[in-house]
Amino acid sequence: MIVFPAIDLREGKCVRLTKGDFATTKIYKDNPLQMLENFKQHNFSWIHMVDLDGAKAGQTIQGEIIAGLVNDSGLNIQVGGGIRTKADIEYLLSYGIKRVVLGSICISEPELVKSWLNEFGNDKIVLALDCQLKDELPVVKTHGWQEDSKKTIWDLLEFYDSVKYILCTDISVDGTLAGPNLKLYQQIMDKFPQIKLIASGGVGNMNHLIKLNKLGIYGAVVGKAIYEGTITLSDIAKLSIEK
Burial degree of 111 (CB within 10 A; 0-12, 13-18, 19+): exposed
Which of 8, 51, 53, 174 is labelled catalytic? 8
Task: Tell me the pLDDT band of 74, cut-offs 50, 70 and 90.
Answer: confident
pTM of the model: 0.90
Distance CA 153, CA 100 (A): 19
Cα 44 vs. chain centroid, distance in angstroms?
A: 16
**Whether residue 130 lies in the annotated active site:** yes
Domains plus CATH for the chain? 2-237 (3.20.20.70)
Distance CA 89, CA 231 (A): 33
Task: Tell me the pLDDT band of 172, cut-offs 50, 70 and 90.
Answer: confident
Summarize pLDDT for 13-50 with one digit per residue, the tens: 988 777 777 788 888 878 899 999 999 999 998 999 99
Distance CA 124, CA 115 (A): 13
Q: How many residues does the chain have?
A: 243
Distance CA 129, CA 90 (A): 22
User: What is the pLDDT of the chain when averaged over all its residues?
Assistant: 90
Q: Which amino acid belongs to residue 60? A: T
**Whether residue 8 lies in the annotated active site:** yes
Of 75-79, 140-144, 190-194, the poorest mean pLDDT is in 140-144
Summarize pLDDT for 91-114 with one digit per residue, the tens: 999 999 999 999 889 999 999 999
Angle, helices 86-94/110-120, rounded to nearest 10 degrees? 30
Task: Tell me the pLDDT band of 240, cut-offs 50, 70 and 90.
Answer: low
Task: Tell me the pLDDT band of 161, cut-offs 50, 70 and 90.
Answer: very high
Distance CA 30, CA 144 (A): 22
Q: Are strands 13-18 and 147-152 parallel, antiparallel or unpaired?
A: unpaired
pLDDT of residue 145: 59
Of the two residues 180 and 68, the one the predictor is more confident about is 180
Distance CA 37, CA 219 (A): 21
Which of 51, 53, 130, 174 is labelled catalytic? 130
Q: Quickly list H helices, the chain.
A: 32-41, 52-57, 63-73, 86-94, 105-108, 110-120, 153-159, 182-191, 206-215, 224-228, 233-237
Burial degree of 224 (CB within 10 A; 0-12, 13-18, 19+): buried
Summarize pLDDT for 199-224 with one digit per residue, the tens: 999 999 999 999 999 999 999 999 99
